[in-house]
Amino acid sequence: MSRTLSIFRREFQGYFATPVAYVFIVIFLFLTGLFTFYIGAFYERGQADLEPFFRYHPWLYMLLIPAISMRLWSEERRSGTLELLLTLPISLAEAVVGKFLAAWAFTAIALALTFPLWLTVNYLGNPDNTVIAAGYLGSLLMAGGFLAIGSCISALTRNQVVAFVISFVVCFAFNLSGFPLVLDFFSGWAPQAVVDAVSSFSFLTHFNSIQKGVIDLRDIIFFTSLIAVWLYANMLAIESGKGH
């Protein structure tokens, strides 16, 4: 536990030792603002809620989370620090979880920095703050899901650009897995059960229900187990990539 914490701390401080953190946060805040006010028509709707803000998170994360996750393991592999890290007296799980949590905490900070929007909506009207809290929770869980996917994919390659592109595509597929674009790919040949299973993986569906204020245990279990499965795959990817 204390070793996971050490890994977490090192990794987390690493974000702020380079411009990565600041660039990411600025771009994230800029884009959330852009989507909320221009595309989401925050003012024009005349409703005191943050729906136009949360609505675009799946799409923002699809682009921005791979930018955070791409370096998680590919950089360690490329620079040789993977060997240093994994010959220290820590388990692979501690390393994977520590690094993942640091990246997640970092996105949580970026998300928390959108608080002026929450202040604004409370100033302008009387929103249901429990719905907003649920929205933040759902958004954070979804960010974790995207990060776990990106972390695993970054362990498969030394090349950050490759990690970014593949993570982007996989995140895109997870976003759209409830839509014909993805389902048609399966429905031609796979049994209905598979098609249903694929469609149930849609981040959009699970996120939308949480962000409407309906905190269903199933949605929370969906995201947490998805994170667990991808992090486990992450461990396997590191294990198989060692020494090559």
Contact 73, 238 (CB under 8 A): yes
Which residue of 38, 43, 83, 129 would you call a contact of other proteins, by CB under 8 A?
83
Which residue of 38, 41, 91, 184 would you call a contact of other proteins, by CB under 8 A?
91
Q: Is 196 in the site for other proteins (CB under 8 A)?
A: no
CA distance 199 to 186: 10
Q: Is 97 in the site for other proteins (CB under 8 A)?
A: no
Which residue of 123, 188, 217, 244 would you call a contact of other proteins, by CB under 8 A?
244
Which residue of 22, 26, 45, 79 would you call a contact of other proteins, by CB under 8 A?
79
Which residue of 86, 109, 176, 235 would you call a contact of other proteins, by CB under 8 A?
86
- The token pair that represents 152 in the structure block: 């695993």
Exposed, middle or buried, 22 (CB in 10 Å: 0-12/13-18/19+)? exposed
Size of the site for other proteins (CB under 8 A): 24
**Cβ of 82: how many Cβ atoms within 10 Å?**
21
Choose between 9 and 45: whose C-beta lies nearer to other proteins: 9
Q: Measuring CA to CA, which residue among 184, 158, 197 is closest to residue 79?
A: 158
Q: Is 158 in the site for other proteins (CB under 8 A)?
A: no
Which residue of 48, 60, 63, 90 would you call a contact of other proteins, by CB under 8 A?
90
The alpha carbon dihedral of 31, 32, 33, 38 has a sign of positive
Q: Measuring CA to CA, which residue among 204, 232, 231 is closest to residue 219?
A: 204
Choose between 36 and 154: whose C-beta lies nearer to other proteins: 154
Which region among 8-16, 24-32, 44-52, 140-148 touches other proteins (by CB under 8 A)? Answer: 8-16
Q: Measuring CA to CA, which residue among 211, 206, 217, 153 is closest to residue 175?
A: 206
Which residue of 1, 44, 46, 89 would you call a contact of other proteins, by CB under 8 A?
89
CA distance 55 to 36: 8
Q: Is 10 in the site for other proteins (CB under 8 A)?
A: yes
Return the ∠ at Cα 185 (arms to 154 and 216), rounded to 5°: 70
Q: Is 240 in the site for other proteins (CB under 8 A)?
A: no
Residues in contact with other proteins by the rule CB under 8 A: 2-3, 6-7, 9-10, 13-14, 17-18, 79-81, 83-84, 86-91, 242-244
